[in-house]
Structure 1
Amino acid sequence: MAQILLAVLLVLACAYALPDLARWRDFSWLQVWLAQWTRASGDAARPRFAAVLLPLLLFVVCELIEFVLDHVLFGLPGFAFAVVVLFYCWGPRDLDADIDAVLQAPDSDRRLAAAQALRADGAAAPLPFESAPLVEATFAAALSRWFGVLFWFVVLGPAGALGYRIVQLLARHPGFADHIDANQGELLERTARILDWAPAHLVALTLALVSDFDAVIKTWRDYHAAHGKGYFTLDLGFLGAIAKAGIDADVEAGDGYASDVSNPLVELADAQRVLRRILVGWLALIALVALIVLTH
């Protein structure tokens, strides 16, 4: 667990200190591979079948590479491999940079244009420059870019992070739509929601701890009561609802020296601060587990 914490800290440090390295997070090879498979096979079923099995295949390959490297030179190559894979799967866009681009834009037109980078992959409708959509989109982006990758990296190592990112891309990135039919797309989307379920709930719990606990928990309960599906479903819409409730409560309490919950810039700036608190909370939890493991 200590190695996991160190790997995460190194990736965060690299992302902050060397933002230009983000250009290496390029998954175009995946599109090229699927396109070549399509042309070579001449059978529509085969590439789509391959697209569904691809995350599992890459997961197994990544696990094998990690296993081999962990048994060479005291595991140092395995640790380096884990850091590289986590960095590769982080993002791929820098969430802080995208938020800062909105906050620092000099006029409303450029703020609106910058805000579109916070939309989910494949979203057709433009993101309106309003408090609620901005906060919800920012938390959804944080789940996909940060917390989902981090959760599965902690649970399953670099193979977990890579598997999560590949499923997210195949299920939601428009660049892969031509190679995946409706049935396979539905299966991939369901898998993506399954992989998002645990980290989304952990984000919700951490949000309650670092924000207004009562407001977050009440909104969480109200959301599930209104939709009548219970807590153990793949409906993750609660995350946007509780994010808005938590940010509103923070802003009304004067966090960031502003109290206007209708101001999108104020709410977006507070959402950035709260997401950083959540990330720190996750790191503190990993550090606590590492300490417990080391002392036993």
Structure 2
Amino acid sequence: MNIEKHLWGIDLGGTKIEGIVLGADSGDILIRKRIPTEADQGYQHIIGQIKKLINQLKDETGFKPEAIGFSTPGTLDPGTQTMKNCNTTCMNGQPMKKDLKEALGVPVELANDANCFALAEANMGIVPEKYPDAQVVFGVIMGTGVGGAVVVNGKVIGGKHGIGGEWGHNVLEEDGEECYCGKRGCNENVFSGKSLEKYYEKISGEKRKLKEVVERYRANSDPHATATMQRLFKSFGKAIHYIINVLDPDVVVLGGGVSNIDEVYTEGVKELENYIFNHRKVETVFLKPKLGDSAGVFGAAELVR
């Protein structure tokens, strides 16, 4: 009798930790469970919360993991084997892969949340549904922050420094807003949701949520909203052209709140024509994701396939 292998994935977020157990062949979800991260109680507490969740998954399924994949809010540096660039700052500088392996007693694989998003959509989400022959997929996160990831033939390209696919902290405006990373005018500081709201406030003198700015743009009732959306489309087209010129991906999948703005797929892609090294002809396919906020945990499970 064949017993199907199970894939175990954990999505480690700033406020919640989500775990999933999948059938490796069927893709069926055996269990899915969330508990709070409680990151304010420190790094060791987070490790304890992860162990607690894994034990709950084992107890409720009757299965034990052979390996576990983790989607993390930062990157494991391949050289130092410690975490970096984590917005859950207590994780930075910590040997998380080593600590998780010791705490859980099984092999673990780590990738940042953008990588897991791209991996999930490339292997289990919208890409195999719409373009099953795609070989190169670029995943974009445009929400509170901006990020990116590269998947080639179903595998994440992590890179020498563990920053493969990094898109949010490429400089777009040299005299732009100062970024927490130490540079100015990063993509994240130009067209993330927060940055667009900040720009609208700067030119209009009024605070509005991005959703309202989009509504006012569509109603053609607010020139400041129009200017803000034009900033989004132009900066997106310019920023993504570097990716298209270098990687020439078959598909780009957009995730995060800003990616829900339909005009990004029309006006934003039209701006790309001004920069692409292909006689203004854009054949790259831009898709909305299928898995939504589930992508992180599915991508984590894919790491140990």
Tell me the TM-score normalized by structure 1: 0.25
Greater share of strand: 2
Tell me the TM-score normalized by structure 2: 0.25
Greater share of helix: 1
